Structure 1
Amino acid sequence: MSEPTLQENLLGAYLKDRRSKLDPAAFGFPAERRRTPGLRREEVAQRANISPTWYTWLEQGRGGAPSADVLDRIARALMLTSIEREHLFLLGLGRPPEVRYQRSEGVTPRLQRVLDALSPSPAVIRTATWDIVAWNRAATVMLTDYGALPPTERNILRFIFLDPRVRAAQHDWQSVARFVVGAFRADAARAGAAAVVQPFVDKLCRLSPEFAALWRDNDVRTHGDGVKHLRHPILGPIAFEYSAFAVDGRPDLSMVVYNPVDAEVVEKIRGLIDAAL
């Protein structure tokens, strides 16, 4: 029986391509003349702690589907990035790998400039655990002065349940609170952060009986888009159309933009921003 064609064996072609781009000397392998560039099959197998025969079969499209553990070892052996590792799983198993949650280290200057360009629409970047890590001036004057708070206190659930000012600004606090808890639960689970947020959840349950009751409901929601009503201390009742967007290449982050539904409010927000400068 002939070996599968290149078109049929996409996993093998990808593995061969990835190993051909690695420098043997960087991994402590002899740098003598080689027939082809990159690592040899047996060197990849050695780094992945799997059988050289089994790895050869994978590249040749033989031996059946690999396990997730084997693909993980190969991904580490080939020094794959997160997106390359995901592509490897899609080729090998037809599904992405299980999520590995990583705490956010903030946003790039380029992403911050995107937020700033959206003004006078308030816009924020939040993590999968609903910590606010970036915002624009419109968000400062309309939502919360996040910069005046320690990073550990810039959490949306903390605002909703423990900050009387934020609570008073909600048009229908009970509905907002239920929605926030359900969406937070879904986001944390989707990002593989359920265990990471548990200490925070336990603390919030102790500090807020209302949060504890909603958390016990096990409700899940999706953020998506909709209309948010606020009572601003200066501008009074205001309605925003909000939308949430994934940040490409950063599965730990999402951007939420609040667009004023009234053109008159846009000018008022600009006035507040100018006054705060």
Structure 2
Amino acid sequence: MGTTAQRRRPELAAFLRARRARVTPADVGMPPGLRRRTPGLRREEVAQLSGVGVTWYTWLEQGRPINASAQVLDAVARTLRLDPPEREHLYRLAEVAFEPAPQRLTRQVGPEVQGIIDALDPLLAVVYNSRYDILAANPAYLDLFIVPRTRRLGVPNALWSLLTVPEERCPVVHRDAELPVMVATLRSSYGRHVGEAAWEDYIRALSEASPRFAELWASGAVTPPGPRVKTFRHPAVGELRMTSQSLSIDGMPECRIVVYTPEDEDARTKVALLRERRQRLWPPADEEAAGIVHRRKTEDPAPLTGDGILITDL
């Protein structure tokens, strides 16, 4: 079968040839020339436009075991007009460490994603971005949690709220065990955004608002998102043990749907009681007006409202 590198080289050669064939001289401001038999650009033209030697580029396209720097691959990628996924593919095949371009922090979801989490009711479902901003939630989630906008951020933020709410009002029963995990998960995302203003401002502001966060952040712990069993409390039904599971979302980098499933029969009964309570207090015709289905108008500064636990921001 050969080594991984040996299997990648033929794929790299085929990929570069195919990308070169689709770029015409006109695309890069060159005259078409006469008696052109090569579809797209010639190898020497790619080398010239990329600022590399013809022999070196020929060897690269032939999949020979040569070293390529990120700067040279970027030049080739620009010449071949590679989009971000293609650029990443080129780096992987050439076995060069890939640094993705900074992604803008996702702040909203489309109707398709909202429809998916709504359809999961009676399971609790919420959409987080990588810093725990709440982008959308379904009615079942809002039966248990109500998180208003965090004034410093302009959006609801689960981590900020949990760190700044008084302990007696915190819906997480084992806060001292759960908060370190959430902060470590945040740090695993932060590693991709070090130096970005939105992230640095967020870390600085949260450190000022919560000495506990500053302490946990200073520990340097890192962990990826993963399933966990958590215990929550609700003033109407008491404690509920729930299992959280994260699902990635195509087209929304660093966002995930988190679904909370009752861990036992007692929790299932209490989730059903909360659902009945919602339907009794807010009949279906009034749900949208009451704000407990979801809030798509993100410009509305009012907090999410419903029958869950109000987690205030400080």
Question: Is the structural similarity TM-score above 0.5?
Answer: yes
TM-aligned CA deviation for residue 51 of structure 1: 3.3
Partners of 1:113 and 1:226 lie apart in 2 by: 25
* Contact 2:130-2:189 at 8 Å conserved across structures: yes
Residue 164 of structure 2 aligns with an amino acid whose one-letter code is L
Residue 91 of structure 2 aligns with an amino acid whose one-letter code is F
Residue 124 (structure 1) aligned to one of 123, 126, 134: 126
Return 160-169 or 256-265, whichever deviates more.
160-169
| 1:56-71 paired onto structure 2 within 5 Å | 56-62=58-64, 64-71=66-73
Q: Secondary structure at the match of 1:169?
A: coil
Residue 78 (structure 1) aligned to one of 80, 86, 98: 80
Work out whether 1:12 is the aligned partner of 2:19. no
Residue 220 (structure 1) aligned to one of 219, 222, 232: 222
* Contact 1:122-1:258 at 8 Å conserved across structures: yes
Sequence identity of aligned pairs in percent?
Answer: 35
Change (3 A) 1:18 1:165: farther
Q: Deviations over 1:134-165 (max 9, x none)?
A: 3322223322345x667633223211112348
* Contact 1:103-1:252 at 8 Å conserved across structures: no
Partner of 2:207: 205
Work out whether 1:268 is the aligned partner of 2:269. no
| Number of corresponding residues | 269
Residue 45 of structure 1 aligns with an amino acid whose one-letter code is A
Change (3 A) 1:263 1:130: closer
Change (3 A) 1:46 1:141: farther
TM-aligned CA deviation for residue 8 of structure 1: 5.2
Aligned CA-pair RMSD: 2.9
Unpaired stretches in structure 2, ≥5 consecutive residues: 1-5, 288-314
TM-aligned CA deviation for residue 167 of structure 1: 5.2
| 1:77-116 paired onto structure 2 within 5 Å | 77-93=79-95, 97-105=98-106, 106-116=108-118
TM-aligned CA deviation for residue 250 of structure 1: 4.0
Partner of 1:242: 244
Partner of 2:155: 153
TM-aligned CA deviation for residue 13 of structure 1: 1.1
- Which of structures 1 and 2 has the larger relative contact order (alpha carbons within 8 angstroms, sep 6+)? 2
Change (3 A) 1:104 1:211: closer
Partner of 1:195: 195
Residue 77 of structure 2 aligns with an amino acid whose one-letter code is A
Change (3 A) 1:78 1:111: farther
Partners of 1:136 and 1:104 lie apart in 2 by: 21
* Contact 2:127-2:257 at 8 Å conserved across structures: yes
* Contact 1:160-1:166 at 8 Å conserved across structures: no
Q: Secondary structure at the match of 1:195?
A: coil
Q: Deviations over 1:218-250 (max 9, x none)?
A: 122332101111112333322211111233454
Runs of 4+ in 1 over 4 A off after TM superposition: 5-8, 148-151
Change (3 A) 1:244 1:15: same
TM-aligned CA deviation for residue 17 of structure 1: 0.6
* Contact 1:229-1:239 at 8 Å conserved across structures: yes
Unpaired stretches in structure 1, ≥5 consecutive residues: none
Partner of 1:181: 183
TM-score between the two structures when normalised by the length of structure 1: 0.83
Work out whether 1:37 is the aligned partner of 2:39. yes
Change (3 A) 1:31 1:114: farther
Change (3 A) 1:222 1:7: closer
Partners of 1:137 and 1:23 lie apart in 2 by: 53
TM-aligned CA deviation for residue 67 of structure 1: 1.6
